[in-house]
Amino acid sequence: MDHLDSNLLRTFLAVAQAGSVTDGAATIHRSQSATSLQLKRLEAIVGHAVFERHGRGVVLSKTGRQLLPIARDVTARLDATLRDISRDTVKGKLRLGIPDDHGRSKLAQIIAAFARQHPQVELDVTCAMSSGFPEALEKGKLDLAVFEVENPTSREELLFEDPTCWVSSVGREFAINEPLPVALFDHACWWRDAAIQSLEARKKPFRVIYSSQSVSGVMAAVEAGIGVGLLGRTALKSTLSITSADFGFGQTPTSKLVLAENGSQTHAPLEAMKTAIRSAFLTMTS
């Protein structure tokens, strides 16, 4: 006989709260296909649909409305029990660095879940441009950090890969043979060097009309239609489109999100956070 499990209930709750499978999947760090499979598994167990399609999203069915308070109660009790059991097992302080743009929402959710599970850990979180994190780790100013690189070193653990591509605002067209307006990251970011190499491979004129330290800054400029920009594919949304291959851009790299520690000492909060981050990204890519 099949039984309900907490993972299915948590997926159900995430989609119910978000109002769509896609947005619900993002909150639990799963792919849309993996989330849909879990919902089908849940519906097979209960014998009824738990959602009905509504426009571009979903709403609870009669069975879903019946299941909702039970799912909330069960998962809340499980979380409370885990907190009580683990309350005294992990203590200490952890200095963590996370990038201020790439994966910020996902990492913030991981940290929030970690804090609930390990309330005795004092977290000191730095959210900033990640280009300075390797030096901060080396100098002992951070214990653990997540940041982007083009080529990971042996001390950096790969979490996630994001291919880059040239994008422009939907409906905005640029002439191929005229100087191309470009929005780039500033000089402290390796993305800028990668973008310029790709542009120079075209052997056609371009002009940098906008520079920003952040993904959101470059994206805003591209969305406004003032130029093209190099972004990760995970940043694409309905207002952006991949620039035509006719422009002849050179090859662009894949950005790697990595996890690294300062290596001075291993302690319980450090290991617990590493496990939480690894698990979340492993689930997200499955």
Q: Helix (H, G, I), strand (E, B), or coil: what is residue 166?
A: strand
Question: Would you state the pLDDT for residue 286?
Answer: 46
Question: Would you state the pLDDT for residue 95?
Answer: 94
- Fold for the domain defined by 6-86: Arc Repressor Mutant, subunit A (1.10.10)
Of residues 107 and 12, which shows the higher confidence score?
12
pLDDT in tens, 203-219: 999 999 999 888 888 99
> Over 80: is that where the pLDDT of 87 sits?
no
**Cα distances (Å, whole numbers) of residue 253 to 104, 159, 233:** 21, 16, 11
Residue 101 pLDDT class (50, 70, 90 cuts): low
Of residues 228 and 128, which shows the higher confidence score?
228
Q: State the DSSP H helix or E strand holding residue 155, giving kind and residue range, or none if neither.
A: none
Fold agreement between 92-160+256-284 and 161-253: yes
Of residues 113 and 83, which shows the higher confidence score?
113
What b/e string do you get for 55-86 counting C-beta neighbours within 10 Å, with b at 16 or more? eeebebeebbeebbeebeebbeeeeeeeeeee
> Over 80: is that where the pLDDT of 51 sits?
yes
- Fold for the domain defined by 161-253: D-Maltodextrin-Binding Protein; domain 2 (3.40.190)
Question: Would you state the pLDDT for residue 103?
Answer: 56
CB atoms within 10 A of CB 146: 25
| Residue boundaries of the structural domains of the chain | 6-86, 92-160+256-284, 161-253
**Cα distances (Å, whole numbers) of residue 161 to 101, 102, 195, 241:** 15, 11, 18, 20
Distance between CA 255 and CA 234 in Å, rounded?
11
Question: Would you state the pLDDT for residue 241?
Answer: 94
pLDDT in tens, 1-40: 578 888 899 999 999 998 999 888 887 878 888 899 999 9
May I ask the CATH architecture of the domain 92-160+256-284? 3-Layer(aba) Sandwich (3.40)
Nearest to 124 by CA among 111, 137, 138: 111
Residue 59 pLDDT class (50, 70, 90 cuts): very high
Q: Across residues 213-235, what is the average pLDDT?
A: 91
Q: Helix (H, G, I), strand (E, B), or coil: what is residue 110?
A: helix
